[in-house]
Chain A
């Protein structure tokens, strides 16, 4: 299984995304930004971007830390009740310890593929309030969209076939930072 991104490139991609966020939202604009990571791997990625934003803005008089939340989209999936067989996905806790009303929300996920996860996440987020805007951050965009969804910040565009599977591994969960491209389709 070939590695398509190592730890160093992952860290640089996330730092670049942090710079792009500030560029697009104004360097002093961090006060109404909030990061929301999609479980599982979007959550540590969101935390790392929050760190990167903190490091860049360090010493800036108006700098404020960007709050980070975790979103579980299981209850919003469109394929939940369509599994004829197979286990129900495990529901995990959604933790958004701040009001999303009038904030600019940065939604974070590891891989953008069909777009269905993001569709679910948008529905879930809207149930928590009315954000001023929602922007999408993904580490890997592998194409094959089934819905009209597009990322605002992309760590790496990775052309793939549907048979392949992309595996993002993170220090916090898997003990290592890397992205792998597997040939045989696997159940995610």
Chain B
């Protein structure tokens, strides 16, 4: 049972709730192997996917999860919405709510946008990424993938390498992994290192060799050019030389290391193609697990008390 009506961030979840979501996701994986990949659980429920930022993986993953649970779904992309005609976020959502959806899955470029809606709207809100703040379902599917391979999260050395400054995936993952007892190392050039990361129980370093040395899990993050309004790195070539994940660097990690990436990948910038397609990579498993984890979140939130007025 989840305590909150919404899933806004990992910050609101207890370790028990995280474990419940991961266990429920475990039961959901079997549905993808059936001849009929659909259960009737959310029949008659309407879920709106409201994406104010481009997304392929997360949006399709939510859509597949919703359809496998038999929910009615509609996806709204910003380009074709009335936001481009000057409507405010709150007005857009209130208009959608007039059509009585049960849940809204939202991605927005402003941190805190889903929190605002959760306070002011009736629907259950699921955060599919808000600005540079949180991306809870990504952290949950990462944790699920790690647990499938290592059977645990506590005591693991996990290295997160890349553009940490602009990453909501980092912020959600750090909180989740901390709550579950993992040892998190964060590696980035000084310009892409958030201030006071150590306060969150993370070990910051600018040396990728130190970060990946003896690691059980290496998580690579993309350089987010679209969020950079200035010069953070001299060149992608230099970045690859100093921070790119190469087979030589992978060799410093544990022999059963797994390599993760939330996508989209920039081959030759943060990760070498030989590593991305290599035997340690679980990048495509992450995508498959994303559907099961989102089904679990939708199921657990859908059964909660619905607010009627």
Which listed residue (B20, B44, B305) contacts A84, Cβ 8 A?
Answer: B305
Q: Are B303 and A88 in contact (CB under 8 A)?
A: yes
Q: Which of B38-81 contact A (CB under 8 A)?
A: 38-42, 44-45, 69
List, in ascending order, chain B residues with CB within 8 A of A75's CB. 39-41, 69, 299
**Cβ distance A117 to chain B, nearest Cβ, rounded Å:** 15
Q: Which bracket fits the contact residues of A?
A: 20 to 34
User: Bound complex: CA of A170 vs CA of B26, how far in Å?
Assistant: 26
Which residue of chain B is the closest to A83 with respect to CB atoms? B303
Nearest CB of chain B from residue A123's CB, rounded to whole Å: 7
Q: Which single residue of chain A is at the shortest CB-CB distance from B45?
A: A81
Which residues of chain B are within 8 angstroms of A83 by Cβ–Cβ distance? 303
A91, B20: Cα distance in complex, Å = 10
Q: Verify A127–B1 contact, CB threshold 8 A.
A: no
Chain B residues with a Cβ closer than 8 Å to the other chain, count = 27
B40 touches which of A76, A90, A94, A95 (Cβ 8 Å): A76
Q: Which residues of B contact A58 (CB under 8 A)?
A: none
A95 to B20 CA separation, bound complex (whole angstroms): 20
Interface check A92, CB cutoff 8 A: yes
Interface residue? A80 (CB, 8 A) = yes
Closest A residue to B41 by beta carbon equals A75
Q: Does A93 contact B (CB under 8 A)?
A: yes
Q: Is B27 part of the binding interface, using a Cβ–Cβ cutoff of 8 Å?
A: yes
Q: A76-B40, A80-B41, A85-B305 are in contact. Are A93 and B26 (CB under 8 A)?
A: yes
Q: Judge whether A109 is part of the interface by a CB distance below 8 angstroms.
A: no
A163 CB to nearest chain B CB (Å):
27
Q: Looking at the complex, which one of B20, B24, B35, B296 makes contact with A128 (CB distance below 8 Å)?
A: B35
The closest CB in chain A to the CB of B302 belongs to A81
Does A87 interact with chain B (Cβ within 8 Å)?
yes
Contact residues, B261-300 vs A (CB, 8 A): 296, 299-300
Closest residue of chain B to A127 (Cβ to Cβ) is B36
Interface of A is mostly: loop
Interface residues of A in 109-158 (CB under 8 A from B): 123-124, 127-129
Task: Say whether A76 contacts B299, CB under 8 Å.
Answer: no
Contacts of A129 in B (CB 8 A): 35
- Closest residue of A by beta carbon distance from B2: A88
In this assembly, does B34 line the interface, its C-beta being within 8 Å of a C-beta of chain A?
Answer: yes
Contact B41 A127 (CB under 8 A): no
Q: Which of A72, A88, A91, A95 makes the CB contact (< 8 A) with B1?
A: A88
Q: Answer whether residue B30 sits at the interface, using C-beta atoms and an 8 A cutoff.
A: yes
Which B3-31 residues have a C-beta within 8 angstroms of A?
20, 23-24, 26-28, 30
Q: Across the interface, name the chain A residue whose C-beta is closest to B40.
A: A76
Q: With A and B bound together, what is the CA distance between A103 and B306 in angstroms?
A: 42
Contacts of A95 in B (CB 8 A): 30
For the complex formed, measure the closest distance between the CB of B224 and the CB atoms of chain A, giving whole angstroms.
35
Write 17 A-B pairs (CB below 8 A) sorted by A numbering.
A75-B69, A75-B299, A76-B41, A80-B41, A83-B303, A84-B306, A85-B305, A88-B303, A88-B304, A91-B296, A93-B26, A93-B30, A123-B40, A127-B36, A127-B39, A128-B35, A129-B35
Q: Which 4 residue pairs spanning A and B have beta carbons closest together?
A: A87-B1, A88-B303, A75-B39, A91-B27
Name A residues whose Cβ lies closer than 8 Å to a Cβ of B: 72, 75-76, 80-81, 83-85, 87-88, 90-95, 123-124, 127-129
Q: Which residues of B contact A (CB under 8 A)?
A: 1, 20, 23-24, 26-28, 30, 34-36, 38-42, 44-45, 69, 296, 299-300, 302-306
